[in-house]
A and B are shown apart, each in its own frame.
Chain A
């Protein structure tokens, strides 16, 4: 543990948990809570739109436009990316991702639902409950913000 309260892992990999604890003012915490509540309400509303409608499309386009604008015009303080990736460590990810996309591509090529369902075919029924779809949209929104910070 260094004087500034960070560990070796935190200094070498600034994006990794556990991140150093920072003091936040009550007003900042209140703003974060308000933003979180706003995002949850937004996700709930978008989850209620019917697929293939203008409302559903706009519900996805608005966060994209907002985050795209933030990323271009006023990007937040970014978490520094690593200078290089360990090739052996990265190869595990590449193998998993390649296998996943190959599996998905074969399902799409066969187009033989229900015998060979694609990942989307499996995910769609799981997201039918409004609460689950809202949670998924909220995770998607937070992932977008995390990407802008990277």
Chain B
């Protein structure tokens, strides 16, 4: 029995999820859409000061994780 191609399954999983998020963003930008855009829900999360600090900290972490290490 051939081994299960777990690497391919993992990559496909990430690809499907990223594609789904791109599709969601496109759908959100249609006029009258009930789906919020990324900017809208991030803006909503950043209404309280703590949310603003956490979102900006997340942005900083992304930069550190992908560009500094």
Contacts and interface: CB of A to CB of B under 8 A. Distances in A.
Chain B interface helix/strand/loop/mixed: helix
A122 to B, nearest CB: 6
Given A9-B32, A89-B34, A116-B7, A123 B44 contact: no
B34 A150 contact: no
A120 B62 CA distance: 11
Interface residues of B, number: 41
Nearest to B64: A60
A9 B14 contact: no
B46 A81 contact: yes
Contacts of A8: 31
Most buried by A among B11, B59, B68: B68
Assign chain A's interface to a size class. Answer: 35 or more
Chain A interface helix/strand/loop/mixed: helix
Contacts of A131: none
Contacts of A147: 42, 46, 55-56, 59
B67 to A, nearest CB: 6
A130 interface: no
A71 B35 CA distance: 27
Interface of A: 8-9, 13, 15-17, 46-47, 51-52, 56-57, 59-60, 63-64, 67-68, 71, 79-82, 84-86, 88-90, 92-93, 96-97, 99-100, 103, 107, 114-117, 119-120, 122-124, 127, 133, 136-137, 140, 143-144, 146-148, 150
